[in-house]
């Protein structure tokens, strides 16, 4: 099947819109007409740092409508509105015990994309989806059905950024009600962490970022205090002032020294 995709032809070069072939639908696959796709920093890194070998099709926050299902797909059907997330094998020990994010085959299933240049066919797909395209062919395990009245453009980032931030708080940190948490960097991942901390019942939810507009939004979404970071700001001191001693939990979503230090 011929589709259009934003192709990374060379590392560090702009995307190029071009035709590419999708392979045939497998028995456990679904074909999705992509209606929206978020853009994550991982996509930028995939294009600019050599994470994948070009030519490649990136994109891993896809949302759309199912056009066709494989013969072994039973819980999804044509017309379903869906969000697509990362790929997992479904049969390794981590997948079998409910930890697909730690799938033994995570790297090979997600951190690659490959176009066969002889046939112009998208053989392997970035995060199992390559959503920077008009259509995406994905395994049924990647797909989550959503209500048809949900805006697909708003739903698309649920596939990566929102679940990353919220899950880091609710499933990993597991803050106790009344505890304190600092979230460094309040982009999509950080804002999701802020909302999750509010759900968890944290008393002090401190947003730290370089940008005032992000901090304002963080306070709208549940942050009880905010700190504008920078080279002349002692973040640790300010956190102690806000909490009266410090936080029990902290989450950095940036990897940027100036935000954290």
Same structural domain, 179 and 207? yes
Same structural domain, 48 and 153? yes
The residue among 127, 159, 191 that closes a domain is 159
- The pLDDT value given to residue 189: 94
Q: What is the mean pLDDT of residues 31-35?
A: 98
Contact 121, 115 (CB under 8 A): yes
Structural domain containing residue 207: 163-260
Contact 247, 218 (CB under 8 A): no
Same structural domain, 143 and 227? no
Same structural domain, 142 and 168? no
Same structural domain, 153 and 168? no
Q: How many domains does the chain have?
A: 2
Same structural domain, 194 and 133? no
Helices (H) and strands (E) in the chain, counts: 9, 14
Same structural domain, 146 and 187? no
How sure is the predictor about 261, in pLDDT bands with cuts at 50, 70 and 90? low
CATH assignment at residue 70: 3.90.180.10
The residue among 116, 134, 159 that closes a domain is 159
Q: Give CA separation, 50 vs 8, 47, 143, 182, 196, in Å.
A: 11, 7, 27, 33, 33
Q: Give CA separation, 111 vs 57, 81, 128, 136, in Å.
A: 11, 25, 9, 16
Q: What is the mean pLDDT of residues 45-54?
A: 90
Same structural domain, 122 and 103? yes
CATH assignment at residue 192: 3.40.50.720
Establish how many alpha carbons lie within 13 A of residue 89's alpha carbon, considering only the half-sphere containing its beta carbon.
15
The residue among 159, 188, 208 that closes a domain is 159
SS3 content of the chain, % helix, strand, coil (to 5): 30, 30, 40
d(CA 88, CA 122): 19
Q: What is the mean pLDDT of residues 165-186?
A: 96
Percent of the chain with pLDDT over 90: 90
Six-digit token string for 245 = 């001693």
Same structural domain, 209 and 241? yes
Six-digit token string for 143 = 């797909």
pLDDT digits (tens, 9 = 90+) for 9-30: 999 999 999 999 999 999 999 9
- The pLDDT value given to residue 210: 94
Which of 190, 127, 201 is CA-nearest to residue 162? 190
- The pLDDT value given to residue 230: 85
149-160 exposure pattern, b = at least 16 Cβ within 10 A, e = fewer: eeebeebbbbbb
Query: Angle at Cα 130 formed by Cα 156 and Cα 22, nearest 5°?
Result: 125
Helix (H) or strand (E) holding 205: strand 204-209
Same structural domain, 46 and 107? yes
Same structural domain, 23 and 125? yes
Q: What is the mean pLDDT of residues 77-82?
A: 98
Same structural domain, 176 and 154? no
- The pLDDT value given to residue 41: 86
């Amino acid at each position: 099947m011929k589709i259009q995709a934003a192709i990374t032809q060379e590392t560090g070069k702009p995307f190029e819109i071009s035709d590419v072939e999708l392979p045939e639908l497998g028995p456990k696959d679904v074909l999705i007409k992509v209606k929206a796709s978020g853009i994550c920093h991982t996509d930028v890194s995939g294009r600019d740092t050599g994470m994948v070998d070009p030519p490649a099709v990136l994109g891993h926050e896809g949302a759309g409508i199912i056009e066709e299902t494989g013969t072994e797909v039973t819980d999804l059907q044509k017309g379903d509105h869906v969000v697509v997330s990362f790929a997992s094998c479904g049969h390794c020990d981590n997948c079998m015990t409910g930890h697909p994010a730690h799938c033994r085959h995570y790297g090979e299933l997600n951190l690659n994309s490959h176009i066969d240049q002889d046939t112009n066919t998208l053989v392997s797909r970035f995060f199992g989806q390559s959503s920077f395209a008009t259509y995406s062919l994905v395994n049924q395990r990647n797909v989550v059905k959503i209500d048809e009245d949900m805006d697909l453009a708003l739903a698309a980032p649920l596939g990566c950024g929102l679940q990353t931030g919220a899950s880091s708080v609710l499933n990993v940190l597991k803050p106790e009600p009344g505890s304190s948490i600092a979230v460094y960097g309040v982009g999509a991942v950080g804002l999701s962490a802020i909302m999750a901390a509010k759900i968890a019942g944290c008393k002090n939810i401190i947003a730290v970022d370089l940008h005032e507009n992000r901090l304002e939004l963080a306070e709208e979404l549940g942050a009880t205090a905010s700190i504008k970071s920078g080279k002349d700001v002692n973040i640790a001191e300010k956190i102690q002032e806000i909490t009266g001693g410090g936080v029990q939990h902290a989450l950095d979503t940036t990897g940027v020294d100036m935000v954290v230090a």
